[in-house]
Amino acid sequence: MTPESRQRGLKLAYRLRGLLLAPPLAFVLLSCDWEVENYWIAFGLGGLLFGLGLAIRVWAQTHLHYRLSVKKQLTTTGPYAHVRNPIYIGTTSILLGACFMSELLWFAPVMLAWCFAVYHLATKHEETRLLARYGRAYEQYRDRTPRWIPRMPRATDSAERPAEKFLWPSVLAEAHNLALVIPFVLKDLLH
């Protein structure tokens, strides 16, 4: 495989990352095999994972401003001070919550592995783009901030940008994620 074809493949994975998450999500929605009939686990723990993922995405959005009409810059504050990909981590938590709400606990490791594979490919493309756009600033950020496992920032890390004014627009930008709960509640009611 040539470097150019590899880059094209990574770019395609990046562009299709949302669609690539649809097959396992459709599976947990449509499958009823080996369900765990425990509402505390399904909707309690599932709801907690879903809510945690949504909260992470909103927190990240208040700093990243994706989907907001704001001049973009290298984001290194908020959750980005702890980990480079909080949006993907939040989405993974939402999808794990969906696994639990579907009562298919056994599928959670599969969902986690699927998300990791998709997001690993997507981040390879993203990191190339960010390095080209922000140069040395991104390289320094990448070298000090882990990709997946959060860490507490050192005292010398950059100061927070005021994010409060972006809270409500960020909540609105992420509200579409709440629609994911509806099919799982319907699945439980109709099953």
Tokens of 158: 């950059």
Write down the pLDDT at residue 125: 95
Domains and CATH numbers, the chain: 6-190 (1.20.120.1630)
Q: How far is CA 91 from the centre of its chain?
A: 3
Nearest to 74 by CA among 32, 153, 133: 133
CA atoms of 91 and 57, how far apart (whole Å): 7
pLDDT score, position 17: 93
b/e map of 81-113 (b: 16 or more CB within 10 Å)?
bbbbbbbbbbbbbbbbbbbbbbbbbebbeebbe
Look up the pTM and report it.
0.84
**Residues comprising the chain, all counted:** 191
Residues 54 and 174 sit within 8 Å (Cβ to Cβ): yes
Please name the residues in contact with 34: beta carbons below 8 A apart, sequence gap of 6 or more. 104, 106
Type of residue at 58: V
| pLDDT at residue number 118 | 96
pLDDT tens digits in sequence order for the chain, 191 residues long? 888 888 898 899 999 999 999 999 899 988 888 888 888 888 899 999 999 999 999 999 989 877 667 778 899 999 999 999 999 999 999 999 999 999 999 999 999 999 999 999 999 999 999 999 999 999 999 999 999 998 876 655 445 556 677 777 777 778 778 787 787 777 777 76
pLDDT at 130: 94
| Interior angle at CA 165, CA 162 and CA 170, nearest 5 | 105
